[in-house]
Amino acid sequence: MKCILLCLALVAWQGSQALKVIEAEPDLVMQGEDKNAGPVMVCYYRSWAVYRPGKGKFDVEDIPPALCTHIIYGFAGLRNNQIISLDPWNDLYENYGKGAYDRFNSLKKQNADLKTIIAIGGWNEGSSRYSEMAKSPATRKTFVDSVMAFLPKYGFDGLDMDWEYPTQRGGKPEDKVNFISLLQELKAALHSKGYLLTAAVSAGKLTIDPAYDVPAMAEALDIINVMAYDMHGAWDPYAHHQTPLYAHPKDEGNNLYFNVDFAIQYWLKLGAPASKIAMGMGLYGRCFTLQRAENHDVYDPAPQAGMAGPYTRDPGFMGYNEICEKQMQGGWTIVDDPNMMAPYTYKDRQWCGYEHIESITTKAKYAADNNLMGGMVWSIDTDDFHNTCGNGEFILIKTIFSTLLGGGPLPTLPPTTTTPFDPSAPTTPTTTTLSTPLFINLCKTVGYNADPTDCTIFYECSVGDYGEWIMHTFRCPPGTAFVPDLGICDYEGKYPELCK
């Protein structure tokens, strides 16, 4: 509490001196993707993972820049036909925010080949606003213009359209045509400046048919991220896997469509080129509460959602990190279903269909065997990023990427280090952030620590009463950079090696 009051007082005192975030033009990227390049590994990041408790908290700096070719920040929103931040305090530096957009894009300083993309939409945003925006040339232009201002302001390399879904959930029948007009206009504007245009799309036939003109979408998009998961869940009255590779023998009717193989082959059949499809894989499970503990097979009655995980705290959903952690505690049975080629696990009345190392290997091999552009994960923040379960940090993403590369070595980056020093010069603090143990990646020692990805940011670190790191974030004045050896902000031009 003392730290909170002190930090708030410091922020208030410095209010009139707050510095405007320096905006830089992004490096231009090639239109589309290099067809001779290796497979893509697209990693979605749920920005609200930063609010999870304990070991579940996942911030921008926890993203491994070498393990993804594209990272997508979810989500921006739509208001008055313009793209906006949905969480300004976390996303922006303005008004003493945390500046996650800028920090996210600074990850490219560690991996020059990394592409950063902002996703707009998502399930919670619904469809009605997007339907209204796409309905006329004037409203679409308002949106496109806002995107073209938004991307360079924060340094993103492209836009991911995650409209869920045209014609549905508050949409209109004409959305199918209007969505294509929107994508075509976005493509023209974005590609003229070297930006990418991608989209997250449904894997369900019952959604695809009314919503998508697949050949026209494929022509407009650089990457088609097929969300081949969430095919079953607590909305069903029975237990079933959320991302089976193949159909279960008991599947019939519309359930015959709810498997990865059908979804990918259907997109291909409708005209999507394999070279543009990133096959989505879920790094989480959908969980059920069985009616009776002794009845724990697929299609056995499960009238309630499963218990919430300790970090994601969403009934019927648990991250892979939460599932494997519970399995480590004992008492869980794991069944590898040979028909679906996917595992489920149960204990008493709790049942979860999920992915493990073997099943995710099989799915990644399926993507490679079908000559797809690569893989996609939703989402990076529910992999076992702490190596709690002993198989290695980010084991599922590493397994996917390695399999897509034909078993070859994963990309690596040189280690990032910070140099301790004795603080000596006053600077102007522009944001204040309270720490958790995850900030150990930034706080290497008591005192000032350089940011590993942004030469204009540094941290003052101290140890709290319970051994936790307490961290204050500082930004140097415009035109200057933090010099670790001196412990001061000095003119950036004098130290070109700091801001490469």
Catalytic residues: 164
d(CA 450, CA 459): 6
d(CA 423, CA 108): 28
- Whether residue 255 contacts residue 202, with contact meaning beta carbons closer than 8 Å, is answered with no
Three-state SS annotation for 421-490 = CCCCCCCCCCCCCCCCHHHHHCCCCCEEEECCCCCCEEEEEEECCCCCEEEEEEECCCCEEEECCCCEEE
- 3-state DSSP call for residue 471? strand
d(CA 227, CA 38): 21
Closest CA to 378 of 231, 258, 277, 280: 280
Phi/psi at 472 (nearest 5 deg)?
-115, 135
Amino acid at site 463: V
Closest CA to 224 of 396, 116, 376: 376
Strand pairing partners for 73?
45, 118
Q: Which helix (H) or strand (E) holds 400?
A: helix 395-404
Angle (CA) 270-203-266 rounded to 5° is 25
Compute CA 257 distance to the chain's CA centroid, rounded to the nearest angstrom. Answer: 26
At a CB cut-off of 8 Å and minimum separation 6, what does 206 contact?
254, 257
DSSP state of 314: B
d(CA 384, CA 371): 28
Compute CA 39 distance to the chain's CA centroid, rounded to the nearest angstrom. Answer: 18
CA distances in angstroms from 164 to 41, 146, 201, 204, listed in the order given? 22, 20, 8, 12
- 3-state DSSP call for residue 375? strand
DSSP state of 283: S
Count of CB atoms situated within 10 Å of the CB of 424: 9
